[in-house]
Amino acid sequence: MPIHLVVDSTGVKILGDGEWHAHKHKTANKRRRWRKLHLGVDEHGFIVAWDLTGARVDDGLVGVSMLEEFDVAIERFTADGAYDTRPIYSAVARAGTPDVTVVVPPSRRAALDPGAISPWDQRNDAIERIVEVGRRQWRKESGAHRQARAENAMFRYKRIIGDGLRARSFEAQKREVMVAVRVLNRMTLLGRPIPVAIRT
């Protein structure tokens, strides 16, 4: 069954010296290290894709690699402006249904592409509509606010799991994230109401 995929990323700390200790000894820039956690969330709040990368890795590149691993068709793709790239649209076209909808805010200097084909032509529509009604109204009309689903997943991750990685090696950190994602999905499943038909 096709899904609505929302993607986003956030920074997670590699735990080491505490914030106060790092500040006191002027080691903040030297010792504080980060990874970037990328999550793909479906319309029900389940994390259906994830990746852990270095802090400086481009979100768009990771988004493409996540889309290439999907074995379920995507009917709607929502992301923030960091994913406003042609490779993302191409990856969505390959992973999506024939009428896939892409909702990604174009950059403020984005220009129309007269030769655009689907779904890249949806970017042209977004640019034109933003010129007509403004970015805020476009966000309301397009449903770009659904990006909040991914932000909510990030919030749950940091509140329940924490905002830091405890493992030392990169491979162990990836396993740590995998376990955390499974725990969060299990909690989401347990927290969902189960509708039951009542016959009178």
Structure confidence by residue, pLDDT tens digits, 134-149: 999 999 999 999 999 9
**Of 121, 143, 3, nearest in space to 73 by CA:** 3
Which residue ranges make up each domain of the chain? 3-191
Residue 30 scores a pLDDT above 80? no
Q: What is the pLDDT of residue 20?
A: 44
Q: What is the pLDDT of residue 197?
A: 81
Q: What is the pLDDT of residue 38?
A: 97
Q: Write down the pTM of the prediction.
A: 0.85
Residue 49 scores a pLDDT above 90? yes
Q: Report CA-CA distances (Å) from 111 to 8, 68, 106, 126.
A: 24, 27, 9, 11
